């Protein structure tokens, strides 16, 4: 007989937060890779800005722009 799994809302919330932060970090790293692959020079300030962004919708919007942009101003000029 399997033992019941103990669930705690607080712990579950922390786990969800950790997953969201990990997802945002992964998207930020891929955005930076895409920018470099496209030939853009990414400054330390811009790298810090991207890596400190936890808003996945914003990161996705930047990635969409980065795919076709001809300058970093087009991507981050929001």
11, 17 in Cβ contact below 8 A?
A: no
The pLDDT tens digits of the residues spanning 7-42 come to 788 777 777 677 767 788 999 999 999 999 999 999
Pick from 68, 5, 73: nearest CA to 34:
68
The domain tally of the chain equals 1
Examine residue 31 and state whether it is found in any structural domain, yes or no. Answer: yes
2, 33 in Cβ contact below 8 A?
A: no
Residue 53 structural domain: 19-76
pTM above 0.85, yes or no: no
* Distance (Å, whole) CA 75 – CA 3: 52
CA distance between the termini of the chain = 57
The pLDDT tens digits of the residues spanning 30-77 come to 999 999 999 999 999 999 999 999 999 999 999 999 999 999 999 998
Examine residue 60 and state whether it is found in any structural domain, yes or no. Answer: yes
Neighbours of 31 (CB within 10 A): 21
């Amino acid at each position: 007989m399997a033992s019941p799994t103990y669930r705690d809302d607080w712990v579950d919330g922390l786990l969800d937060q950790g997953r969201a932060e990990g997802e945002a970090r992964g998207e930020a790293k891929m955005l930076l890779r895409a920018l470099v692959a496209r030939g853009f020079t990414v400054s330390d300030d811009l790298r810090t800005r991207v890596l400190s962004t936890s808003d996945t919708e914003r990161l996705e919007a930047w990635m969409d722009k980065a795919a076709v942009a001809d300058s970093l101003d087009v991507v981050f000029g929001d």
